[in-house]
Amino acid sequence: MNILITGGSGFIGRALVSSLLKDDHKVTVLSRTPDNANKIIGDEVVILSSLDKLPIEHSFQVIINLAGAPIFDSPWSAARKQVIRDSRIQLTEKLITYINDATIKPDLLISGSAIGYYGNQGNNVITEYSTPSHNDFSQRLCADWENTAQQAKKLGIRVCLIRTGLVLAHDGGILQRMLSPFNLGLGGIIGNGQQWMSWIHRADWIAIAKLMINNTTMEGAYNATAPHPVTNSEFTKILAKHLKRPALLPIPAWLLKILLGERSELILGSQRILPERLLTESFHFQYPELLDALTEISPNHE
């Protein structure tokens, strides 16, 4: 297939590109920094800096929309929030315009989203049929992003929304943020440790995207999370045991709120998510349990 990916040089995107190339797909990546993208993902893909460079008669069977400015890396000033929104929603609007104008339209749009869509749900079990619990920045961001992507349905395009949890892999993601303090013996629970963390191994995320490509009956929102979420306390305990490091220094919620401001909701919020629709599709998770995922990511630790 001929596949267009936005965000193809990111933490998830670069691994997805590599996997699709191994399956003999033709991949085009849209990037604001094409030279940097070329260094990251190599010469086997076509890299574009703008959709305007594509002739309308050029066709893709699948578009995968993963682009977006990092949500956690900088304080959430009003200007930064606007950058985060524009990098997702404005680009998605441009994709919808491109699809509308295309001579041959794609069969499928897979558009990124996140479990932030649900907001802080406490101890409630969340599936794709759950409703947001309250209106905060990350919830509004995900909802607006999804609503924009859904405009492709009016053009006769199958749309899959992939609500991504905390992605684990050896070369980035949340695990990299956690490893340094743990390796120094400075790890510990966050807040009261009772907030739920819904995670997924990157390999399983990629397998979900491929299933969406191949299974033409799939559409709508899917939770891209492993079937066994854990509390922060459990995550901390399992990671510390796996690394053979202590986890003795808890980080109080009040300190995080001072240090991170509104961004602290991403860490202190609780989302106990089940991938109900994927389980209904009989999707097989290669890494359903956290310890299995951590063992694959860092095989030198036993």
CA–CA separation, 275 and 208 (whole Å): 11
Q: Contact, 7 vs 65, CB < 8 A?
A: yes
- Structure-token pair, residue 77: 């000033």
Collect the ranges in the chain with pLDDT lower than 50: 301-302
Written as one string, the DSSP assignment of 27-69 is: EEEE-SSHHHHHHHH-SSSEEES-GGGS-TT---SEEEE----
Q: Please calculate the CA angle 195-127-168 and round it to the nearest 5 degrees.
A: 55
Q: Contact, 286 vs 229, CB < 8 A?
A: no
- Residue 235: which residues within 8 A CB-CB, separation 6 or more? 197, 199, 290
Looking at the DSSP bridge assignments, the partners of residue 167 are: 200
Looking at the DSSP bridge assignments, the partners of residue 172 are: 169
Quick count: other Cβ atoms within 10 Å of Cβ 77?
A: 11
CA–CA separation, 31 and 50 (whole Å): 7
Q: Is 149 a member of any domain?
A: yes
Helices in the chain by DSSP H: which ranges? 13-22, 34-41, 78-85, 91-101, 137-149, 173-183, 202-214, 232-243, 253-260, 265-268, 276-280, 290-297
Q: Is 6 a member of any domain?
A: yes
Q: Is 178 a member of any domain?
A: yes
Q: So what's the pLDDT on residue 133?
A: 74
CA–CA separation, 20 and 150 (whole Å): 24
Q: So what's the pLDDT on residue 299?
A: 56
Q: Please calculate the CA angle 286-217-271 and round it to the nearest 5 degrees.
A: 50
Q: For the segment 112-168, what is each residue's pLDDT rounded down to a tens digit?
A: 999 999 999 999 999 999 888 778 899 999 999 999 999 999 999 999 999 999 999
Q: Is 21 a member of any domain?
A: yes
Q: Is 61 a member of any domain?
A: yes
Q: Contact, 241 vs 296, CB < 8 A?
A: no
CATH assignment at residue 35: 3.40.50.720
Number of domains in the chain: 1
Q: Is 94 a member of any domain?
A: yes
Q: So what's the pLDDT on residue 301?
A: 43
Q: Please calculate the CA angle 234-239-240 and round it to the nearest 5 degrees.
A: 100
Q: Is 288 a member of any domain?
A: yes
Q: For the segment 203-222, what is each residue's pLDDT rounded down to a tens digit?
A: 999 999 999 999 999 999 99
Please give the residue range of the domain that contains residue 151. 2-297
Q: So what's the pLDDT on residue 300?
A: 53
Q: Is 302 a member of any domain?
A: no
